[in-house]
Amino acid sequence: MSKNSGIEALIKKLGNLDVAELQEIQKAAKTTAITKQKKEKDAQAMSLGKLVRKYQKELLENDKLPADFKSGLQEILDQ
């Protein structure tokens, strides 16, 4: 079965649907796309958060930083 025959079959099926059914499909597709984007954004934020924590920990290990800076950073890490 070629790609074109699958597309043609889909077009025929869509052609047989009424407006309400097409709107429902459109709504479901939009919801799916929004959900996927949100998951991707959440994954990026989580990765960024992990990276920030890594560098915060490295800063804590730096002996050249002032003690008050380190204590403030430690408070943030403890949250």
- pTM beyond cutoff 0.85: no
- For 11-30, the pLDDT digits (tens) are 888 888 888 888 888 898 89
- For 16-71, the pLDDT digits (tens) are 888 888 888 889 889 999 999 998 988 888 888 888 888 888 888 887 778 887 78
Q: Which single residue is written with the structure tokens 């499909």?
A: 25
Q: Which residues of 36-74 are buried (b: 16+ CB within 10 A; e: fewer)?
A: eeeeeeeeeeeeeeeeeeeeeeeeeeeeeeeeeeeeeee
Residue 10's pLDDT band (cuts 50, 70, 90): confident
